[in-house]
Chains A and B, each alone.
Chain A
Amino acid sequence: MGEQILNQVVWPLLHIVAIVLPLVLAVAMFVYWERKVIGWMHVRMGPNKVGPLGLLQAFADVVKLLLKEVILPTNANRFLYYLAPLLALVPALAAWSVIPFGDRLVLANVNAGLLYLLAMTSLGVYGIILAGWASNSRYALLGAMRSAAQVISYELAMGLCLVCVLVLAGSLNLTDIVHAQAGGKGLFDWFWLPLLPVFVVYFISGVAETNRAPFDVAEGESEIVAGFHVEYSGSAFALFFLAEYANMILVSFLASVLFLGGWLSPFPASWGWLGQGSFLWLLAKAFAFAFLFLWFRASFPRYRYDQIMRLGWKVFIPITIVWVLVAGCMKYFGWVSVGTGV
């Protein structure tokens, strides 16, 4: 009995904490890194007062947010107003349970991992819509409708990208997908090469899906202030913030797992320790993608709303539909070599 509880409850819980805690810390450091990087790109210093090099800035912000008043606007629907940030956060965190961090280093090695991810990302839209509606504010509602329409449009493109990966890998299991990218040629075996257009579409859709610049019309501060969470303050706002950044890091990890071979090394296996797969490779790839999010934000002017919808529906969806068939032909006629696992 005791041993069973240990195996069935305590160990999984410890594993979950081992994912969630670093994730929350990563979000804090990512916020700091974002402000630093954007500062440098603007030829500024970025945060540098709190702690050495400003490293404690993010933690100071967290404490501040938690100690602020949570304002409930007049005429707001109390229940939905507090439910919305939870609905945004839970799917953003729960999606992490199927991410493979290394060979056999995965919390839930489910068969339908990719499908589960699609389900979790499709739930994120509820937090947005409910937040906008429950606040009883025009700006919030407008932002919510814009966000929701944008998120569901890019979800289609993302779903079709996942199908392309699936066609080549032949399995919904994320560990198997990484194994299918293994081979003797290092980075030339990964899926980014045969699926190059899809790879680009996937990452850009990820940026749009998380409502980040240059697709951040929903919170375009010069037009509709902060979008769907304009009325939120204190810890309720902190939950939205946490969910958004957890989603950004998730997209970075997923792009690495699906297209850049996850924990596999970019060098051929014959190169000794450099050719060995490791968690550190995955971390490095994800970090590169996360950096792209910040680079985009500092570099690109904001898209107009009709341009965003045009890009999603008229460019990305046609490209991915065509590439589903192209990938099918590649796999069927053996134009690409797909590793069968190590």
Chain B
Amino acid sequence: MIDPNLFQLVCFYAFSAVTVLAALSVILLRNSVHAVLALVLTFFSTACVWLLAEAEFLAIALIVVYVGAVMVLFLFVVMMLDIKQEQVREGFIRYLPVGLVVALVMLVEMLALIGVRAMHAVSMGADPAAAAGVSNTAWLGTALYTQYLLPFEVAALILTVGVIAAVALTLRHRTGSRHQSAGQQVGIDPSRRVRVVKMAAVRAEEPEAVQEETRT
């Protein structure tokens, strides 16, 4: 008999191992497109780990937003930038001390945070959503749209600022190019484009004679 809990534990370690290995290969792989794909794998296996923690909505949202959208942008950028490998290697040595300092500071911060959390340690309770008998998404939605209403609207504001900033920073208009304006096309007045001219009918003599000839 395979214990479901044991199986879950095995899955957890398997997904975690993939996550860590993929994250390592992001910084170790030489080819930058391979590195981006390793990052995709990192996100994907992280989503699997979250799914194991019964965070159904967050796990799939991670795939939709990060794997489906953010990494596509990364891929666009990395593919087209055409980074030369030698330059990268050169920079690696030069910025190594700075990188190490940043990594050290982050490590200390994370350890401190974990330490603080551990002091008032509250073990994770049973999943409240499952206890209440509703789906994970519904539980999350209820919390988000009642308790955290203000942060939610602030998020909307930040997204709007993001849209405007992206356009303001990157949009360059090409000069001299033409494009179709569907509104103008639909909105034209037919009488200004086509003039119907009334003419008296004219009888052509010649073509009939030709037709007669060809028939015989």
A→B interface (CB under 8 Å) = 1, 4, 77, 79-80, 83, 110-112, 115-116, 118-119, 122-123, 125-126, 129-130, 133, 148, 152, 155, 171-173, 306-307, 310
Contact = CB atoms under 8 A, between A and B. Distances in A.
A131 to B, nearest CB: 12
12 contacts: A1-B1, A1-B2, A80-B34, A115-B64, A115-B137, A118-B60, A118-B68, A122-B68, A126-B72, A129-B72, A173-B135, A307-B180
A119 B68 contact: yes
A152 B69 contact: yes
Given A119-B63, A129-B79, A172-B137, A111 B33 contact: no
Contacts of A306: 179-180
Contacts of B179: 306
A210 B1 CA distance: 45
A95 B17 CA distance: 26
Interface in B54-111: 56-57, 60-61, 63-64, 67-69, 72, 75-76, 79
A136 B163 CA distance: 33
Interface of B: 1-2, 31, 33-34, 37, 40, 56-57, 60-61, 63-64, 67-69, 72, 75-76, 79, 135-137, 179-180, 182
Contacts of A172: 135, 137
Contacts of A307: 180
A22 B69 CA distance: 32
B173 to A, nearest CB: 14
Contact of B182 (A133, A148, A173, A310): A310
B167 to A, nearest CB: 13
Contact of B72 (A112, A125, A171): A125
A79 B30 CA distance: 14
A111 B137 CA distance: 8
B47 to A, nearest CB: 9
Given A125-B72, A172-B135, A80 B33 contact: yes
B37 to A, nearest CB: 8
B72 to A, nearest CB: 6
Contacts of B57: 112, 115
Contacts of A310: 180, 182
B56 A122 contact: no
Contacts of B61: 115
A112 B79 contact: no
Contacts of A171: 135
Contacts of A152: 69, 72
A318 to B, nearest CB: 13
A111 B75 CA distance: 31
A171 B37 CA distance: 33
